Amino acid sequence: MLKLRSPRLRFFAVEVFCLVDCGHQEPTGFDPVILLAGQDICLSFTMMFGMNPSPSHSADADEPARSPSGPRTFLSEVVVSLIAPAALVFLLVIATWMQQGFVAGIRCGMDLIQPVGLIWLGLLALATHAVRQWRRGTVSGFKPIAWLVGFVLWGIVGNPGFANWASSQVESPLVSEPHPALEQRSLDRPLDAVVVLGGGSSAIAPGFYELGRDGERVISAAQAYHAKATRAIIVTGSSTDGYEPPWKQSTQLLLSLGVPEEVIFRIEGVNTRAEMKSLKQLMDSPPAQWKDRWTEESMESGEPQVGLITSAFHIPRAMRLASNASLDLIPLPCAFRAKNNPRPWLASSLVPGAGSLDDVGKMFKETVAKMAGQ
């Protein structure tokens, strides 16, 4: 059905419609013939232009109001919400550039567009949008506060400074006396063995292994052997997925570092508790090949001196489990996360990163394990 487009025709139709009222009432002073003619005109207009035969309704009144700029309004909201994150990126990159140089500024920008950085900026954008909604009265004040809290918390847990502090609260403290590196200590006698807990390497392909961030465990053991600080190395760890157990990976890596196979001994264990249980059995019934390498003092006492090499954050829990298994081990922490190097404040240190999140996650795990009595 056609719609009435011209304002003048629409006005004329309404006037006629009101004049004759389409036969609902009979105004006084009009000839019936004129009324009938008016009714015909009114009905013609209603049929041609889709008007309701009632003066209280019109086609325009029934149509919902349309927003001619819906997509444009949404786009403008997105643009405005991104102003705060964009300003933060600009300030951090410029500040880093001024403090550390152009390359560091580019690196800061790249860190900001990594997944962790993008989540951080996204939370700020959502907080900005929620604040605008709150000012318009469309949402409660809880929504912008929630997004702002999320932005702040994500920035904290992913912050390298916070990760460094959390690591310092959990890790075995770094001491200068004796020297933290076993191979650089002045020992009265070498250790009879060092235990290398699994977890410092990964299997890239069958028979091809690489050291990870905690690979210092394997390196420290090899250094200690070559410095004659230990006479044997015990590698640990079983596979939970049936693929390349940690003891096998550590063995191959030690061999590649020049450690003879006859001084490497292997024990199983799917976790630290199981590894300590296996170590207890080994020390209670040591194989002759290992016992022949003990020092004279250990042979006389029947108690070998054994050091425990693992990551610094893992040492406290490993030593607790060793004590529970009635093992007297010498802690040899390595792969420290907490850095004791005072540095000036840098703008780039505000940017959260995946490495910091990983460190905080490990410290949280160790804290929960301690609370659980492990």
Per-residue pLDDT at 181 exceeds 50: yes
Report pLDDT digits (tens) over 45-95.
444 444 444 444 444 444 444 444 456 687 888 888 899 999 999 999 999
What is the three-class DSSP state of 5? coil
Which band of pLDDT confidence, cut at 50, 70 and 90, is reported for residue 167?
Answer: very high
What is the average pLDDT value for the chain, to the nearest integer? 83
Per-residue pLDDT at 26 exceeds 50: no
Q: Where are the domains of the chain?
A: 7-60, 74-171+341-374, 182-336
pLDDT of residue 72: 62
In the 8-state DSSP scheme, what is residue 172?
P
Which band of pLDDT confidence, cut at 50, 70 and 90, is reported for residue 215?
Answer: very high
Per-residue pLDDT at 287 exceeds 50: yes
Would you state the structure tokens that stand for residue 224, as one six-digit string? Answer: 């200690």
pLDDT of residue 343: 80
In the 8-state DSSP scheme, what is residue 114?
S
Domain 182-336: assigned CATH number: 3.40.50.620
Please give the full DSSP string across 200-212, using - where no structure is assigned. Answer: SEEEEETTEEEE-
Which band of pLDDT confidence, cut at 50, 70 and 90, is reported for residue 302?
Answer: confident
Indicate the residue type of 192: D
**How are the residues of the chain apportioned to helix, strand and coil, as percentages rounded to the nearest 5?**
55, 10, 35
What is the three-class DSSP state of 292? coil
Decide if 166 contacts 172 (C-beta within 8 A): no
- Residue 133 burial (CB count, 10 A): 15
